[in-house]
Every structure is written in C-alpha cells, then in structure tokens.
C-alpha cells in the first residue's frame, strides 16, 4: 500500500506546519506543540492510500473507510428503481475520507441535494442531510448507487466526476471533509458480505457480490 495525501488538504496542512516551525524558532514551545498536533491530525485525516482491491466484476468494493452501522431493506424506487438493499458506513474523523468507485462502469445519474447537518450516525441523516447521489451501471447492466452524506462536522462534499463519466473500480471519485457517512444501495439479489460493526477499507473491502 502506497500512501499519498488528498490535494484538498494542503491548504489546511501547510499553514499549521509553518506556524509550528515559526513557534519553534521563537521558542514558543506550547504553541509549537499545539500547531504540530493540528498539522499531524490534518495529515492523518487527508491521507489517501493507494489500494488494489478485488478486480472480479461481481465484487462491489467499499467506497469509504469506516464502520458499518446499518444493513437494511429499502422500498424499491426510494433511491433508484431496482435497488432495495442498503449498507451504511460511518466515517469518523480518524478514517480515510477519500471516496472511491465501488464498481467499474458509467455514471448514469448524479444529483446533489442540499440538506441538514445531522449527526451521520443518525438514521434519518440518510434522507435529510446534505448529500450527493451517484448511480453507476456496469457493462453487464448491473446497477449500484451510493450517497456521499455530510455529517455534523462535515463542511464540504467533493465530487470529482460528472454524469456520463466512465469509472474504474477503486478510482477516486471525491471525498467528504470531516465526519460523515456513505450509503450504498444494491439490487435484491446481491449477497451482502459485511455485518453491522464491521470495519471496512475504501477500495479494498468487498462489501457485496452482484450475481451474473
């Protein structure tokens, strides 16, 4: 695994590194420690490890780091026609916050919804919070949707793609800055391979299999 950092983070990281260095030069030890700890936290938050997960076309990779907090059935059409199973992943401030494509295919739908800033652990944040909905269809016609959902601390959702773009399983598609949540939606025949409280890794953990 090769470690790199999300470019969105440097505008926050560099000032605190500079402040820590200046504080050390003027022997302001307490300030240097504080600024150094903030810089270390931001470096950890904006890390963007390169991972190579399964390349089997039936496997759906996790689009986010975090903890599985909910697995449930949803009404057909409530998110996208034919998708009735939901897996929700909570991303704490200590998780990687870069999001990656769960399958290879074409983005057939993208929608941004402004909304509230409820805590991401709360179930109704899935429908009421600020969020992006992304629907991807693979070459076999299989469809998976996922939501980037802002949480209580999240200040910005970043989405690097647009409707009509082709993505490859594990491609970076954006990130959510600070605590947040990602919901993934599957067809009813999908085999969910995770359980509540499981820890998952973006671009590495296989969340589900979609049958041929």
Phi, psi of 44, deg, nearest 5: -65, -40
Collapse the DSSP code of 24 into the 3-class scheme (helix H, G, I; strand E, B; otherwise coil) and give the result: helix
Residue bearing the bigger pLDDT, 63 or 129: 63
Please say if the pLDDT value at position 200 is more than 60: yes
Per-domain residue ranges of the chain:
7-45, 59-209
Position 164 scores a pLDDT of 95
Pairing of strands 156-159, 172-177: antiparallel
What's the rounded mean pLDDT across residues 55-69?
A: 90
Beta-bridge partner residues of 167: 105
Q: What is the mean pLDDT of the chain?
A: 85
* pLDDT tens for each residue of 162-192: 999 999 998 889 888 766 889 999 999 999 9
Least confident stretch, 9-18, 77-86, 194-203:
9-18
Question: From CA 125, how far away is CA 174, in angstroms rounded?
Answer: 20
Beta-bridge partner residues of 149: 131, 181
CATH topology of domain 59-209: Glucose Permease (Domain IIA) (2.70.70)
Helices (H) and strands (E) in the chain, counts: 3, 14
Position 82 scores a pLDDT of 94
* pLDDT tens for each residue of 140-158: 899 999 999 886 655 578 8
Torsion, Cα of 76, 81, 85, 88 (10° steps): -110
Alpha carbon separation from 80 to 24, 26, 159, 184 (Å, rounded): 55, 58, 19, 11
What's the rounded mean pLDDT across residues 59-68?
A: 93
Please say if the pLDDT value at position 101 is more than 70: yes
Position 54 scores a pLDDT of 75
Position 125 scores a pLDDT of 56
Question: From CA 41, how far away is CA 148, in angstroms rounded?
Answer: 22
Whole-number percent of the chain with pLDDT over 70: 86
CA nearest to 106, candidates 142, 158, 61: 142
DSSP letter at 8 equals G
* Torsion sign (Cα): 192, 104, 8, 157: negative
Helix axes 29-45, 10-25, angle to 10 degrees: 160
Position 80 scores a pLDDT of 95
What's the rounded mean pLDDT across residues 27-39?
A: 87
Phi, psi of 159, deg, nearest 5: -130, 120
102 pLDDT band, cuts 50/70/90, is very high
The structure's pTM equals 0.80
Provide the annotated active-site residues.
Answer: 180
């Amino acid at each position: 695994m090769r470690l790199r950092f999300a470019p969105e983070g440097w505008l926050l990281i560099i000032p605190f590194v500079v402040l820590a260095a200046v504080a050390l030069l003027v022997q302001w030890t307490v300030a240097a420690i504080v600024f150094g700890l903030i810089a270390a936290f931001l470096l950890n938050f904006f890390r963007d490890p390169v991972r190579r997960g399964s390349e089997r076309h039936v496997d759906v990779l996790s689009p986010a780091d975090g903890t599985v907090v909910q697995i449930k059935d949803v009404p057909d059409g409530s998110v996208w026609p034919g998708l009735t199973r939901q897996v929700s992943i909570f991303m704490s401030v200590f998780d990687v916050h870069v999001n990656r494509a769960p399958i290879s295919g074409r983005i057939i739908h993208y929608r941004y919804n402004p909304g509230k800033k409820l805590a991401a652990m709360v179930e109704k944040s899935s429908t009421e919070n600020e969020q992006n909905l992304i629907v991807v269809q693979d070459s076999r016609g299989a469809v998976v949707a996922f939501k980037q959902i802002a949480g209580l601390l999240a200040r910005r959702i970043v989405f690097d793609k647009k409707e009509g773009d082709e993505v490859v399983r594990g491609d970076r598609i954006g990130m959510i800055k600070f605590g947040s949540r990602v919901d993934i939606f599957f067809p009813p025949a999908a085999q969910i391979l995770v359980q509540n409280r499981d820890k998952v890794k973006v671009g590495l953990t296989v969340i589900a299999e979609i049958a041929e």
